[in-house]
Amino acid sequence: MRKAFATTLLALAASAHADSSECEIHKLATFPFPHRPTADQAAALKDCSADKLYYGIGVHFDYVKARHCAFAADSQDVLMMLYANGLGVPRNYAVAKMAACRSEPTEIEERLARLARMQTGKEGPSPKIDMCDDAANSHLQSRCAAIRLDLIDQERNARIDTISTRWSDGEKSALQQVRRQAAEPAQIEEILSSLLDFEAGKLPSFTTEDAAAAEREMSQMKISPDKQRGWLAYRDAWLALGKLRYPSVAPHAWKAYFAKRRIAAIKAQ
């Protein structure tokens, strides 16, 4: 067993040495000077997020600003993607490999191997690399998880916008209040799924007894007062929207509907 452990350590050391030697060569490359932001451009991008600019989270895709922001924030991951994928700049594998060598040590080996395959055509005619491909360190894994959630929420919000395109101004305003009160990511999905049902005519039809029973059950669950207050504000915003958009549904039916969903969500945790 000791022999196997020692062999593993030697293999890891050899791999690290190989990465180091390869990176000594790749680090001789330089970023094209005209691609760097001017002082004014860098100042205008204070507190920017290269991730959001690259992935188009909350903004339109802007690879030039993403590059300038990545330089300002020293985000080698984003710079690697921009140059390897040829986004906003000509594809440049030498620069991409240099950026890869400046990223977290746990990511270097896989990134260099992927870039080499891309460069030799083994990844197809229009290859792409993403920093979240096979993320190895916990910091990058958390960062990529946040990016994925942001993109999912953005897609959901876009679908909600599409659903409400032809609504009256009052209905849109009420919907906006529902969205503002949605403090939990799962509530964005709930807004979308509920609207899809409601617009298809699948409206709540619970009785006053159903509402009372659901609220009794919920009152017996362990929920922090702050979270419950937040949820009640969210539910009440729905009631206001329902009164405008779906006037045939009684208030107690809404209360039962959202209480039952709340109970199911808590039980699923």
Residues 98 and 216 in one domain: no
Residue 152 lies in a domain: no
Hey, what amino acid is at 125?
A: P
Task: Quote the number of domains for the chain.
Answer: 2
Instruction: Output the pLDDT for position 15.
Output: 43
Token readout for 147 is: 């990016």
- What the block records as the tokens of 80 is 């690697």
Instruction: Report the C-alpha dihedral over residues 225, 227, 228, 232, rounded to 10 degrees.
Output: 140
In angstroms, the CA 200 to CA 203 distance is 8
Alpha-carbon torsion (269, 227, 141, 96), positive or negative: positive
Statement to judge: residues 131 and 176 lie in one domain = no
Structural contact between residues 91 and 84, judged by C-beta atoms closer than 8 angstroms: yes
Tell me the mean pLDDT in the region 129-150: 93
- Reported as a single tens digit per residue, the pLDDT across 189-224 is 999 999 999 999 999 999 999 999 999 999 999 999
Q: Note whether residue 132 is domain-resident.
A: yes
Average pLDDT, the chain: 91
Which alpha helices (H) appear in 27-182, and where do they start and end? Answer: 39-44, 50-55, 63-73, 76-85, 93-101, 105-119, 138-163, 169-181
Q: Is residue 58 part of a domain?
A: yes
Q: Which residues contact 15 (CB under 8 A, 6 or more apart)?
A: 109
Under a CB-based contact definition with an 8 Å cutoff, are residues 76 and 97 in contact? no
Residue type, 29: A
Q: Are 110 and 227 in the same domain?
A: no
State the pLDDT at residue 183.
83
Which pLDDT belongs to residue 19?
58
Half-sphere exposure of 55 (CA within 13 A, CB side): 22
Range of the domain at 223: 165-268
Confidence band of 2 (pLDDT split at 50, 70, 90):
very low
Query: What's the average model confidence in pLDDT over 33-38?
Result: 95
81 lies in some domain: yes
pLDDT (tens digit per residue) in 82-137: 999 999 999 999 999 999 999 989 999 999 999 999 999 999 999 999 999 978 88
Report in angstroms the alpha-carbon separations of 225 from 231, 257, 268. Answer: 10, 21, 20
Give the rounded percent of residues in the chain with a pLDDT score beyond 70.
Answer: 93
- Between residues 16 and 44, which one has the greater pLDDT? 44
| End-to-end CA, the chain | 41
Q: Is the dihedral of CA 262, 266, 267, 269 positive or negative?
A: positive
Q: Does 53 lie in the same domain as 8?
A: yes
Regarding whether 243 and 169 lie in a shared domain, the answer is yes
pLDDT at 16: 45
Please report the sign of the dihedral spanned by the C-alpha atoms of residue 149, residue 150, residue 155, residue 156: positive
CB 141 within 8 A of CB 133: no
Q: How confident is the model at residue 1 (pLDDT cuts 50, 70, 90)?
A: very low
46 and 172 inside one domain: no
